[in-house]
Structure 1
């Protein structure tokens, strides 16, 4: 046995694979994005620029792998795959998807928003916090019956983030950060709703994507034309990658209708 073959024996996880004939959800999470948010001075409670970057990351992933559906909120991205790449190798899937997300986020931050975030004026300390940008990745095997439940679970978490984010943001206007965080602890959703309403903030009026996240999927539509040779109308189908900022509350029918 040569040295190369001997060393490959140490790669004990390289043959680990996703179960055959299964769907998977790949969940990516930004690493240390709370620190990144502080270094970039992201607007609170939501920064439109940040979410546009996340949307572009999702589009880049979609264009590479044509998943069934991608859902994102905060720095979390869930990718539904029914065709599993890389011969279903776990190491390969996790490493490639997380690296694409990291490089895509870096690319769009530097090329689309460098001046808006004043990246050239970052202190050395903040630059070390922001770069390198990285995502971690985990694989979740899932059956058809559980897909809607999974995404509803994550969408509920997006809603909780929204309520808490607005609650802390509102209280920080009146109190210090530590006191605002203490006051929000233990409050249920209705109590935070009331707290915000007393301060002129109605969560029913804020953007849907802040409450429910964003979805990326293929959207199709029909185009009518005319065939001059046959002298008759024609109908063709077009499709494109669509970013949905007005998601409905997830249910099984939503996922049954995905192309």
Structure 2
């Protein structure tokens, strides 16, 4: 019967750089259940931060980037003998269990809804990693503009008409619409515009060596949550020490 498991040995090519992209399944329904604030809910962002921390602590990737209900994971090592089925299923299930675990830390629910993520593997050349994350960050910015645009339009129009109107607006039109309502997109929290990043940083540790009777300095890695991301560039990824293994 093992022969029927025709995809079980499908593997990512050895030596590949891979990104896993997780997306929340039916999170528009979850948003209604949680009664999320519009256009952005800080508690939901905090919830996603906890999920990303759990993923980072479990698998020690090079970098994680999240916005909305999307999580992008750049792996430092490919686990599970490179098996595609195993990687996709375990990462998606861990994210699902993590968000369920932390849900009531931020939302008061009598009954926990069923929550799931899907997962896809993206093999990518090292030199295109910056391009990929820049693409996703551009999407985060578009989401931000549209979220605020539709939020403002719904104050004057029905949901159906507001959605129709936002589709016909250019970025400059949304800027002007919001500015007329007293909203300057430049003044929004950075995490709303650019998403949130997770990576390792060095922390200086001061100590004392009793044998030499002198102060000592050492450095320790720790997981840093960056809610004030700069625009992604090659220089950014050099700064976080993203090296080609």
Larger Rg: 1
Asked whether 1:207 is paired with 2:189, we answer: yes
Structure 1 residues 183 and 114: alpha-carbon distance in aligned structure 2, compared to 1, 3 A threshold:
closer
Aligned counterpart in structure 1 of residue 199 of structure 2, from 192, 197, 217: 217
Asked whether 1:133 is paired with 2:118, we answer: no
Question: What is the rounded CA distance, in whole Å, between the counterparts of 1:12 and 1:35 in structure 2?
Answer: 34
* Larger deviation, residues 142-151 vs 231-240: 231-240
Aligned counterpart in structure 1 of residue 174 of structure 2, from 177, 187, 192: 192
Aligned counterpart in structure 2 of residue 104 of structure 1, from 92, 98, 107: 98
The aligned residue for residue 221 of structure 2 is 239
Contact 1:61/1:101, CA 8 A, preserved across alignment: yes
The aligned residue for residue 146 of structure 2 is 164
3-state DSSP of counterpart to 1:9: helix
Question: What is the rounded CA distance, in whole Å, between the counterparts of 1:42 and 1:86 in structure 2?
Answer: 36
Contact 2:203/2:222, CA 8 A, preserved across alignment: no
Question: What is the rounded CA distance, in whole Å, between the counterparts of 1:175 and 1:66 in structure 2?
Answer: 47
Structure 1 residues not aligned, in runs of 5+: 1-6, 121-126
Structure 2 residues not aligned, in runs of 5+: none
Q: Aligned-pair distance for 1:238? A: 1.6
Matches within 5 A, 1:1-80: 7-80=1-74
Question: What is the rounded CA distance, in whole Å, between the counterparts of 1:31 and 1:189 in structure 2?
Answer: 28
**What TM-score results when the alignment is normalised by the length of structure 1?**
0.90
Q: Aligned-pair distance for 1:114? A: 4.0
The aligned residue for residue 233 of structure 2 is 251
3-state DSSP of counterpart to 2:4: coil
1:172-231 deviation line (CA, Å, top 9, x unaligned): 111111111122112111110000000000111110000000001111122233324224
Question: What is the rounded CA distance, in whole Å, between the counterparts of 1:137 and 1:249 in structure 2?
Answer: 25
**What TM-score results when the alignment is normalised by the length of structure 2?**
0.95
Contact 2:64/2:197, CA 8 A, preserved across alignment: yes
Question: What is the rounded CA distance, in whole Å, between the counterparts of 2:164 and 2:59 in structure 1?
Answer: 43
RMSD, matched Cα: 1.3
* 4+ residue runs over 6 A deviation: none
